[in-house]
């Protein structure tokens, strides 16, 4: 019964966006300059309200609480520009990240497959809110034509151009996919981490280099669930009520961003930095899991 109520409330929170978002989206398409920026601000307010309502629903139904741990968490600015990295275990990760950082930093955007822009309501909302859509080659396509990988990164670079000169927050799951028991078992011999998948640094290196003059800091989030294999359904059912989110805000000058755009996709110094962060995250999760 609780799950049905949750679905109804989350659906209602999505439905109210339709008569609010579409007029603003049309306004945005038909205007320019200060009028368009005004529409953008209103659309962001709608997005932030939607995120806040989702969190309120979870707290109301199940008493969901996030314990946020981080000394410099309070230094975040709503008009700053941030690159966010995080471990990826469940579909609920995005919901948690948005809830924890909502209205503390600019609206969080993340890269979305180009085909998803046609998803009813959500696809239009992502378009209205200027989420970056990118075309990515499949594994089969990359095997046949490895050169497509560089083309994909070039697409990412072009998408980033719209964020230069404005406050932004971009989320990047460096593991590329969710960590599941099946993937951990499959990659056992190639993966040096106990609680994480091996991260990929090419994408974040390209984005960081493209936006290096606008970035204020990197936000490294580590989500520690109370169970080893969480799912979004567990959250919806109220099985996950308390979890920890470790937040580390790293100034831009402390991250080895590649200055030369030509070398960014294969930057060795960015790869070393990412690998070091993952060692820290893995040890942190291990410590938390061992203390339970």
For the segment 181-202, the average pLDDT, to the nearest whole number, is 77
Cα distance between residue 235 and residue 62, in whole Å: 9
Does the model's pTM come out above 0.85?
Answer: yes
* Predicted local confidence at residue 285, as pLDDT: 93
187 within 8 A of 197, measured Cβ to Cβ: yes
pLDDT tens digits along 78-130: 999 999 999 998 888 999 999 999 999 999 998 888 888 888 888 889 989 98
* Predicted local confidence at residue 251, as pLDDT: 95
- The larger pLDDT score, comparing residue 259 to residue 146, is at 259
Q: Quick check: 181 pLDDT over 70? A: no
* Predicted local confidence at residue 282, as pLDDT: 94
Question: Tokens 């890269």 label which residue?
Answer: 111
* Predicted local confidence at residue 134, as pLDDT: 76
Place 154 in a pLDDT band, splitting at 50, 70 and 90: low
Cα distance between residue 173 and residue 207, in whole Å: 13
Residues in the chain, overall count: 292
pLDDT tens digits along 201-216: 988 998 999 899 899 9
Q: Quick check: 5 pLDDT over 90? A: no
CB atoms within 10 A of CB 182: 8
- The larger pLDDT score, comparing residue 233 to residue 59, is at 59
Q: Quick check: 263 pLDDT over 90? A: no
Percent with pLDDT over 70 in the chain:
87
Q: Which of 135, 130, 134, 220 is nearest to 174 (CA)?
A: 220
Cα distance between residue 115 and residue 126, in whole Å: 12
- The larger pLDDT score, comparing residue 245 to residue 156, is at 245
pLDDT tens digits along 31-61: 999 999 999 999 999 999 999 999 998 888 8
Q: At what angle do helices 202-210 and 268-290 cross, to 10 degrees?
A: 120
Q: Which of 40, 156, 151, 158 is nearest to 106 (CA)?
A: 40
Percent with pLDDT over 90 in the chain:
44
184 within 8 A of 191, measured Cβ to Cβ: yes
């Amino acid at each position: 019964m609780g799950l049905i109520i949750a679905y109804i409330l989350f659906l209602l929170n999505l439905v109210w966006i339709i008569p609010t978002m579409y007029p603003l989206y049309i306004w945005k398409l038909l205007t320019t300059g200060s009028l368009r920026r005004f529409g953008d601000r209103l659309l962001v307010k709608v997005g932030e309200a939607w995120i806040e309502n989702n969190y309120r629903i979870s707290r109301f139904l199940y008493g969901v609480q996030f314990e946020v741990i981080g000394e410099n968490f309070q230094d975040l600015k709503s008009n700053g520009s941030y690159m966010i990295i995080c471990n990826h275990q469940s579909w609920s990760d995005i919901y948690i990240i948005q809830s924890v950082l909502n209205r503390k930093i600019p609206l969080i955007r993340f890269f979305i497959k180009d085909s998803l822009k046609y998803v009813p309501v959500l696809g239009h909302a992502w378009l209205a809110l200027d989420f970056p859509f990118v075309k990515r080659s499949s594994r089969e396509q990359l095997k046949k034509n490895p050169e497509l990988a560089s083309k994909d990164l070039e697409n990412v670079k072009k998408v980033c151009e719209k964020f230069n000169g404005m406050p932004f927050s971009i989320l990047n799951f460096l593991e590329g996919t969710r960590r599941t028991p099946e993937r951990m078992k499959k990659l056992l011999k190639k993966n040096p981490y106990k609680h994480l998948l091996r991260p990929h640094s090419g994408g974040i290196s390209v984005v960081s280099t493209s936006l290096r003059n606008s970035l204020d800091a990197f936000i490294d989030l580590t989500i520690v669930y109370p169970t080893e294999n969480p799912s979004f359904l567990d959250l919806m059912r109220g099985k996950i009520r308390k979890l920890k989110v470790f937040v580390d805000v790293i100034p831009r000058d402390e991250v080895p961003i590649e200055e030369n755009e030509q070398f960014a996709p294969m930057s060795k110094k960015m790869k070393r930095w990412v690998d070091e962060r993952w060692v820290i995250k893995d040890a942190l999760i291990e410590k938390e899991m061992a203390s339970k």
